[in-house]
Each structure stands twice: as structure tokens, then as C-alpha cells.
Amino acid sequence: MQKGQKKSHQTRFIEYLKTSVSDHVLLANELSEMLHISKDSAYRRMRNETPLTIDEAMIICDHFKIDLTAFFEYKYQTIPFKFSKLYSGQKDLFSYFDGINQIMELGLTAGAKVTFAAEDIPVFHHFEYPKLAGFKIFYWQKAVLNDENLIGHKYKLEIIHPELLEKAKQTIEKYNQMDCEEIWTEDSIHSTLSQVLYFAESGQFDSKAYALEVMDDVLKMVEGLMRKAERSSKTLDDNRNFVLYNSEVRIGNNSIYIQSDVSNRVFISHNTFNSISTDNVSFCEETGLWMQNLIRKSTPINDVSEKHRFQFFRSLFNKIEETRKKVELC
């Protein structure tokens, strides 16, 4: 190929396949078998001498679990997003947590940096406190996924499958190891507080004591986050991996930008707790610029910003106390 000449889609596709299969002879054998063609025909496709048909490309993608759209060029302001549909029931939630943990494991391996523009407090933080984690899971199952198995049931920790709580715990343990910037507003806590109050006012807790225990965990979560911001670390060691910003600009949705030497990806909240994601270069770059603009207009409230940190968290504590009083009247 001449210098400056762009590689064809098929060339890039085959090159990607070769990174998945170390032995090119083995790849030729696999293509020959799955496409029902001769080995010579497979080699011609690998050398881009014979075009792959759309049916052949789809067969290969199904076999190697590849997203064919990753090799497209998007010229008309249209880009692909990945999305995993969730149904009611515990099985999907197990898959949900497995997916998050896999993404975080890959991020840790690649030394990824996470920037989180948080319309709501990042849900991972809730998972550090069992009663609050259980409440979040129950809320998703009942209020969002309309799980028929929970009809007539009220929240208490015992109703949550222990393995789901364990997977939630694994999620926050991984997240605490990642290098993160989080951009909040003083209203980021509103979603969690409104969910607890809604369940209390509609009689969805097994008892008022359970509702107050969840509120206790909300307070513990925010107190813990204040300590993490104070030392700029989500762990007890000297790993300075946490920067927290207070934005006076409304964020609008939950967006996560994960950057690493391997690849970049953006996750955008969808259907309350699920997300859609893309690794489209232009979209990732645009999201990164938007987040950096937010940061420039935000106040850092880490270890060097004692006054701003105190004022910010005092506002959150006041909101928690106001909600707790309303729950006590339910």
C-alpha cells in the first residue's frame, strides 16, 4: 500500500482478526471451515484479493464475538452505542454486576483514568454500605424493572440475594483502586434521598426502622466520601487517586469517560441505572472536552480546599437531615 493511502475496511478487519488468532495458518483454517470455502479462498480474503460478503463478515463476527460497526467510518453524525437490555429478575442483575466488574478489571489492568460527571452520586459508592446497597438493588428491581417476584414484598436487607451484595462489594473495591476525577453538584445526592423518601412515603420498607437504617448508611457514605476527598484517596493508603469537584453548572446526566493507553470509552446513563457506551474517537474527544470545561468551571474540594470542602459537605449533610426528618414522620 502506498504511503498516505487509507487501508480498506476489509484490511483493517483482517488485521484485527490476526491479533485475535496468533497463528495465521490457524486463522485460515478457521475461516475455511466456518465459511465453507477452500483454504486458498480463505487466504485470498485475508490478503484482500477477494472481498468478504456481508454474510461472511457477519458469520466471522458471530464466531469471534466482534462488533462489525467498530470498523465503520461515521460521516453523517451517526455513531454506534453498545447496550445490554435488562429484564426483571435476579439473573440479569448478576450479569449487570459481572459486566461492570469486567470493565473495571480491564481498566485496572490498562491503568485507566476515570472522569465521572455525576448528576447523581456515582452508584458505586453506595455499594460500600450493605443496607444502602441492598436498598439500591431492591429499588432497581421493583421500581425500575418491575420484577413480578417482588410484588407484595417490602424492603429489608434479607430479601436481597447475598451473592448480589457480594458482587456489589467487589464493584466498589475495584472502583476504589482506580484513578478517578468526579464532578458533582450539591444536587447529586437528590436522587438517592428522593428514592428513600418515596419508598418510605409509599410504605415500601418492611418497617420504619429499615428506612432509618438506610438513611444511616446514606450519612455514612457521605461522611466516608468527605474523608476520601480530604486525603485525595479512595483507599486508606497514600494512593492519591481521587479528585472531587463541585460544579455550579448543572450536569444533566451521568457520564463516565474512561481513558487508557489501550482505548477510550464513554458510558452514558440510561434507564436509571443502566448505560449505553461507545469508543467512537470523535465522541470520546468531544466528551473529554465537555468534562474539562466543567472542571474549569468547578471548585476542587480536595485536601487543599478545606473551606470549600466544609461548605459543600455541610450542604449535603443538611439535605440528609431534612430527608431523615421526613422519613421519621412517615
pLDDT of the residue at 25: 59
pLDDT of the residue at 4: 46
pLDDT of the residue at 2: 42
pLDDT of the residue at 282: 85
Instruction: Dump pLDDT digits (tens) for 74-96.
Output: 665 677 788 877 766 666 788 88
pLDDT of the residue at 87: 65
* Angle ∠(81,6,32) on CA atoms, nearest 5: 75
Tell me the pTM: 0.79
Q: Is residue 289 part of a domain?
A: yes
Q: Is residue 138 part of a domain?
A: yes
Instruction: Dump pLDDT digits (tens) for 285-297.
Output: 999 999 999 999 9
101 and 189 fall within a common domain: yes
32 and 88 fall within a common domain: no
Q: By residue range, what is the domain housing residue 62?
A: 9-71
The answer for 141, left when phi > 0, alpha when psi is -120 to 50, beta otherwise, is alpha
190 and 99 fall within a common domain: yes
The mean pLDDT values, 10 residues at a time, for the chain of 330 residues are: 61 80 74 93 92 92 79 68 72 85 89 94 95 94 86 91 94 94 95 96 94 97 95 84 92 92 88 83 91 94 86 96 95
257 and 155 fall within a common domain: yes
